[in-house]
């Protein structure tokens, strides 16, 4: 049996599971996935569903930021496109489940493909500025195209998720009825797992190597024949499509969206997720999404005991929302300074320690 | 006709503010290659600090502005020294992200200290107007244009004529060569951040002066200086001024003529027009009108 630790061939390096332990770990996660809806209460199920949706968005953004090195602030816009897309394709045109999700994601990807070449023809971090413009222009459209988006008041979304006779919102399996949250928890994380696998496959194959080459040394990448613009735009399209898919699921889950859901702060939340979770890591995106979806809820729960937080309006102290927003900013700064590779690097470091034990240093 | 002239003056005043914000972007970008998203936070913090000194502590308005300038310039200096300098060698996107994080922290600091209500600036001009050749002009607009011109003039005098300015330009072009000539790029970087902070305060003061008031949206409004930066070319200080003026004019004229005549575009289309102009510039002339076209040597 070939050693699974010593990489002697490139295809060893590309394997999905490097060690049998990794396979076992994934199987364990699968069991957690199956059991979670049965043991968790409604509050934590909602948090986990939102985290699942967020991890899809974070995965897409990580393809762009983590693997291609391009910073985009427009992710909230694509999330919004997906959300309104869900309402248009499912609510208005009555497309069945997988189709409206694919259609909404495609619209996001298409817009990314149109805007991308504009923003990405220049080096430096132009995309950061251009995507900011996209966000503001997009939000203006969301607010004013009332016939589609409902304007500032928002719009009720009807995007049913049902396939093969199974309605996720009212799941019945083997004669047992499950709640909406239980069904959605299974559903969202199944979608997230499929999309995570897709990203993993992109980044460990030829296009992924091209993206990482551009990120690490764009000039050298171009010299060895990697078309910079082609791959950068490709990454932007994938990231936009993922953002739109996440938005579509968000709209289908919350059943109501308004332009206030898709502000600059949402983009910053996604960026915080991948910085905290792990830039350039699939598992890191998911970890970050979990951590930062749960954090505001936890802060809300413990803020009652914090002396510097105002409990009622008019009290002395800062509000919970100010505290939560500031935490996002603080986490970005602290992680980039102290642990630029994110939480996932802590895990990797622990793994390395035990892998080389007892000679670890 | 008088209407148009009035709008032009208002547009120039807004443009002067954008020019100041944009100058802050460009100074930092030239020196360090970083797009500073915290500039909007500097603008808001400057306005809040001026409110604090001039209204709450009762100092004279000019003293409040100068104290705020010193404060925010100091903050910029410290941020460069203790946060951004540690990011040297990291990918550029990480540094840009850090400025975004700092921006959020500054905004939330303002919200925590001064709350979310609209505050008064305590500026001496208020809503007064003068009539010049039949055109009614806000006194505040004249002050805005005048102060911005004076400040920009001072900046260009230093930047073009003084040894310090030459050092700044040299460090931007080639940090290693300038190091060999006895210029310390680290000092230049910190100084650039301090300058950006100081001009942001003036921009914030004039953005919030008069009937407008100080609130947290100042930071978002000053992000409209980004289109000015692209329009002028990201690495050109003259371009920053020209771009700022153009964007200010475009915004005011759009508010005056586009919004009432084309209601289908939405009520606040003028807030979006600068970004549309920017997209147009990126299509036609990606390096802006004063910027250097990118040349790469392989």
- Residue partners of B129: CB distance under 8 A and separation at least 6: B136, B137, B138, B139
pLDDT at A312: 63
- Mind telling me how many Å the CA of A320 is from chain B's nearest CA? 10
**Residue A168: pLDDT band with limits 50, 70, 90:** confident
- Please judge whether B98 and A336 are an interchain contact, meaning their C-beta atoms are less than 8 angstroms apart: yes
Identify the pLDDT of residue A160.
Answer: 84
B69 by DSSP, 3-state: which?
Answer: helix
Residue A231 pLDDT level (bands cut at 50, 70, 90): very high
From the list B83, B112, B287, the residue facing A333 with the nearest CB is B83
Tokens of A311: 């409990």
Task: Write out residues 147-206 of A within 8 Å (CB-CB) of B.
Answer: none
Q: What is the pLDDT of residue B25?
A: 87
pLDDT score of A1: 39
**Closest residue by Cα to residue A294 from A273, A271, A322:** A273
Among candidate residues A240, A231, A243, A245, the one with its CA nearest the CA of residue A202: A231
Contact status of B109 with chain A (Cβ, < 8 Å): yes
β-sheet bridge partners, residue A163? A166
Answer whether B97 sits within 8 Å of A329, measured CB to CB.
Answer: no
Mutual orientation of helices B92-114 and B39-51 as an angle, nearest 10°? 20
Statement: residue A316 has pLDDT above 70? no
Band (A16; pLDDT cuts 50, 70, 90): confident
Report yes or no: A133 at the B interface, CB cutoff 8 Å: yes
- The C-alpha atoms of residue A62 and residue A67 are separated, in whole angstroms, by 7
Confidence of residue A290 (pLDDT cuts 50, 70, 90): very high
Considering only the beta carbons, identify the residue of A121, A279, A332 that sits closest to B98: A332
Q: What is the mean pLDDT of residues A186-196?
A: 94
Mean pLDDT of chain A: 88
Cα dihedral across residues B248, B279, A332, A54: positive or negative: positive
Q: Which two structure tokens, joined as six digits, stand for B267?
A: 């009520």
Which of A70, A123, A143 is opposite residue B294, by nearest beta carbon?
A: A123
Spell out which residues of chain B touch residue A337, defining contact as CB-CB under 8 Å. 83, 86-87, 98
Mean pLDDT confidence for A53-77:
93
The structure's pTM equals 0.92
B89 contacts in chain A (CB < 8 Å): none
Cross-chain CB nearest to B108 (options A125, A322, A336): A322
Instruction: Please report residues of A whose CB lies closer than 8 A to that of B91.
Output: 69, 215
What percent of chain A lies above the pLDDT cut of 90? Answer: 48
Residues of B with CB below 8 A from A271's CB? 97, 100
CB < 8 Å from B in window 275-334 of A? 275, 279, 318-319, 322-323, 325-326, 328-333
- For residue A177, the cross-strand partners are A172
Q: What are phi and psi of A219, to 5 degrees?
A: -65, -45
- What ipTM was predicted for this assembly? 0.89
- Model confidence at A295, in pLDDT bands (50, 70, 90)? very high
- Determine contact: B211 vs chain A, CB below 8 A: no
Contact B278 A133 (CB under 8 A): yes
* Nearest Cβ partner for A322 among B83, B96, B111: B111
Q: What is the pLDDT of residue B72?
A: 95
Name the CA radius of gyration of chain A, rounded: 21
Distance from the A199 Cα atom to the nearest Cα atom in chain B, whole angstroms: 21
Q: How far is A234 from chain B (nearest CA, A)?
A: 19
To probe the interface with B, which of A119, A123, A126, A132 has the most B CB atoms within 10 Å? A132
Cβ distance A187 to A45 under 8 Å? no
Tell me how far apart the 2 most distant CA atoms of chain A are, in Å. 69
| pLDDT at position A2 | 42
Asked if A90 and A155 touch (Cβ cutoff 8 Å), the reply is: no
* Interacting residues of B217 by C-beta distance below 8 A, sequence separation 6+: none
pLDDT at residue B220 in the model: 84
Tell me if B195 sits within 8 A of B203, measured CB to CB: no
In this prediction, residue A313 has a pLDDT band, given cuts at 50, 70 and 90, of low
- Residue A277 has a pLDDT of 93
- Interface probe with A: pick from B275, B280, B288, B298, most Cβ of A within 10 Å: B275
Question: End-to-end CA distance of chain B, in Å?
Answer: 55
Each residue's pLDDT, cut to its tens digit, for chain B (298 residues) gives: 778 888 888 889 889 989 989 988 888 888 888 888 999 999 999 999 999 998 888 888 889 999 999 999 999 999 999 998 888 888 888 888 999 999 999 999 998 888 888 888 777 776 677 777 777 778 888 888 888 899 889 988 988 888 888 888 888 888 888 889 888 888 888 999 999 999 999 999 888 887 778 888 888 888 888 899 888 888 888 888 999 999 999 998 988 888 777 777 777 888 889 998 988 888 888 788 887 776 666 5
Q: Which of B105, B266, B267 sits opposite A329 (nearest CB)?
A: B105
Q: A-contacting residues of B 19-38, CB under 8 Å?
A: 33, 35, 37
Instruction: Choose the mutation target among A333, A334, A338 for the interface with B, i.e. most B CBs under 10 Å.
Output: A333
Cβ-Cβ contacts under 8 Å, B287 against chain A: 122
């Amino acid at each position: 049996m070939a050693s699974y630790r010593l990489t002697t061939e490139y295809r060893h390096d590309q394997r999905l599971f490097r060690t049998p332990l990794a396979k076992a770990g994934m199987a364990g996660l699968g069991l957690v996935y199956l059991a979670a809806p049965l043991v968790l209460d409604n509050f934590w199920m909602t948090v986990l569903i939102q985290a699942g949706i967020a991890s899809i968005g974070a995965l897409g953004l990580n393809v762009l930021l983590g693997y291609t090195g391009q910073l985009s602030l427009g992710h909230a816009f694509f999330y919004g496109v997906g959300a309104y897309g869900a309402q248009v394709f499912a609510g208005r045109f009555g497309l069945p489940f997988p189709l409206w999700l694919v259609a909404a994601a495609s619209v996001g990807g298409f817009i990314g493909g149109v805007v991308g070449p504009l923003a990405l023809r220049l080096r430096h971090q132009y995309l950061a500025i251009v995507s900011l413009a996209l966000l503001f222009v997009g939000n203006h459209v969301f607010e004013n195209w009332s016939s589609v988006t409902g304007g500032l008041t928002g719009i009720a979304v009807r995007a049913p998720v049902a396939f093969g006779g199974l309605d996720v919102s009212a799941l019945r399996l083997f004669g047992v009825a499950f709640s909406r949250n239980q069904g959605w928890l299974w559903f969202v994380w199944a979608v997230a797992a499929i999309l995570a696998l897709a990203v993993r496959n992109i980044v460990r194959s030829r296009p992924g190597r091209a993206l990482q080459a551009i990120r690490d040394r764009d000039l050298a990448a171009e010299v060895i024949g990697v078309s910079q613009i082609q791959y950068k735009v490709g990454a932007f399209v994938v990231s936009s499509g993922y953002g739109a898919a996440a938005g579509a699921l968000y709209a289908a889950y919350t059943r109501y969206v308004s332009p206030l859901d898709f502000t600059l702060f949402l983009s910053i939340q996604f960026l915080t997720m991948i910085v905290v979770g792990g830039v350039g890591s699939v598992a890191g995106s998911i970890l970050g999404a979990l951590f930062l979806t749960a954090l505001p809820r936890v802060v809300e729960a413990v803020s009652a005991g914090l002396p510097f937080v105002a409990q009622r309006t008019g009290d002395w102290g800062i509000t919970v929302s100010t505290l939560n927003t500031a935490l996002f900013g603080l986490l970005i700064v602290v992680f980039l300074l102290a642990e630029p590779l994110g939480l996932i690097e802590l895990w990797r470091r622990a793994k390395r320690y035990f892998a080389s034990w007892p000679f670890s240093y | 006709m008088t209407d148009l002239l009035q709008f032009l003056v208002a547009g120039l005043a807004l443009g002067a503010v954008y020019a100041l914000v944009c100058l802050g972007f460009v100074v930092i970008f030239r020196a360090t290659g970083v797009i500073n998203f915290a500039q909007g936070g500097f603008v808001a913090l400057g306005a809040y600090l001026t409110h604090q000194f001039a209204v709450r502590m009762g100092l004279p308005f000019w003293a409040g502005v100068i104290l705020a300038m010193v404060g925010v310039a100091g903050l910029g200096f410290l941020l460069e020294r203790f946060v951004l300098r540690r990011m040297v060698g990291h990918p550029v996107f990480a540094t840009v992200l850090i400025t975004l994080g700092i921006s959020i922290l500054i905004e939330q600091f303002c919200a925590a200290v001064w709350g979310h209500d609209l505050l008064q600036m305590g500026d001496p001009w208020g809503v007064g107007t003068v009539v010049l050749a039949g055109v009614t002009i806000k006194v505040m607009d004249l002050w805005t244009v005048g102060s911005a011109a004076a400040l920009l003039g001072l900046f260009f005098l230093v930047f073009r004529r003084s040894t310090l300015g030459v050092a700044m330009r040299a460090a931007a072009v080639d940090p290693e060569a300038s190091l060999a000539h006895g210029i310390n790029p680290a000092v230049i970087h910190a100084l650039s951040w301090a300058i950006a902070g100081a001009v942001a305060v003036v921009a914030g003061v004039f953005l919030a002066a008069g009937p407008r008031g100080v609130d947290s949206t100042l930071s978002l409004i000053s992000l409209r200086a980004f289109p000015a930066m692209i329009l002028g070319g990201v690495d050109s200080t003259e371009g920053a001024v020209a771009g700022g003026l153009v964007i200010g004019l475009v915004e005011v004229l759009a508010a005056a003529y586009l919004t009432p005549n084309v209601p289908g575009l939405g009520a606040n289309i003028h807030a979006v027009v600068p970004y549309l102009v920017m997209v147009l510039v990126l299509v036609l002339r990606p390096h802006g009108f004063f910027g250097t076209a990118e040349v790469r040597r392989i």
